[in-house]
Structure 1
Amino acid sequence: MNLESPKVKIDKSPQDVFDFLTDIKNFEKLMPENISKFEILEDDKFLFALKGMPEIILKKKDVIPPNKIVLGAAGGKLDFSLIGHIIEIKEGQSEVKLQFEGDFNPMMAMMVKGPISKFIETLATKMPESI
């Protein structure tokens, strides 16, 4: 399953956006209103839970400064990645798109597609005001 957020414009350089996203503490600022738990586990790993959903642990897997950051599932039964693509539009302005890639069976994919789409859209749309 491959889902993408809408592209958002941010009045910051790609390096500023990249620095914000590589500091995992900042993901708490991007979380939806219905977050019930957010906890930093290590420098590159955090746990979060949304009301009515199981806890999810994300770990920083790969970074390509200043254009890409990859967070992946750390533990649990589901294997997925959340990828942030950062592109410079012009000096001091960037465009960010989040991409979700997961390998789910068709039944699971049908159940999680809506909530995950809404989740990555929320993360993306909160970025311009949070960075």
Structure 2
Amino acid sequence: MKLESPKITINKSAQDTFDFLSDVKNFEKLMPENISKFEVLDTDKFLFALKGMPEIVLKKKEAIAPNKIVLGAAGGKLDFSLTANIVEPKPEQSVVELIFEGEFNAMMAMMIKGPITKFIETLATNMPKQI
């Protein structure tokens, strides 16, 4: 399953955007309002939970400055990744697209597609206000 957020324009350089997203504690600022828990576990790992959903631990798996950050599931039963692709169309402007990818059975994919789509859209739309 592959889900993509809308492309969001941010009035900061790609490097500034990359630096913000590289610091996992900043993801708390991007979370939806229905977050019930957020905890930084390490410099590259955090845990979060949305109301009615199980806790999810994300770990920074890859960082290629200033264009790509990959977060992946750290433990648990589901294996997935959340990638932030960052481009700089002009100085002091960056465009970010979040891509969620994971292998799920048909039943699980059907159950999580809506909530995950809404989740990555919320992360993306909150970026211009926070970075």
Superposition TM-score, scaled by structure 2 size: 1.00
Which letter maps to 2:79? D
- Inter-partner Cα distance in structure 1 for 2:42 and 2:26: 14
Q: Does 2:117 align with 1:78?
A: no
Count of paired positions = 131
Shift of the alpha carbon at 1:89? 1.2
Which letter maps to 1:6? P
- Could you say which residue in structure 2 is the equivalent of 1:93? 93
Q: Secondary structure at the match of 2:111?
A: helix
Which letter maps to 1:83? T
- Could you say which residue in structure 2 is the equivalent of 1:53? 53
- Could you say which residue in structure 2 is the equivalent of 1:41? 41
- Could you say which residue in structure 2 is the equivalent of 1:121? 121
Let me know the Cα RMSD of the aligned residues.
0.3
- Percent of pairs with identical residues: 76
- Inter-partner Cα distance in structure 2 for 1:100 and 1:47: 17
- Could you say which residue in structure 1 is the equivalent of 2:63? 63
Q: Please list every run of at least 4 consecutive aligned residues from structure 1 whose deviation after the TM superposition is greater than 4 angstroms.
A: none
Shift of the alpha carbon at 1:60? 0.2
Shift of the alpha carbon at 1:18? 0.1
Shift of the alpha carbon at 1:47? 0.1
- Inter-partner Cα distance in structure 2 for 1:72 and 1:28: 16
* Unmatched tracts of structure 2, length 5 or more: none
Which letter maps to 2:43? D
- Inter-partner Cα distance in structure 2 for 1:120 and 1:21: 14
- Inter-partner Cα distance in structure 1 for 2:104 and 2:76: 13
- Could you say which residue in structure 2 is the equivalent of 1:16? 16
* Unmatched tracts of structure 1, length 5 or more: none
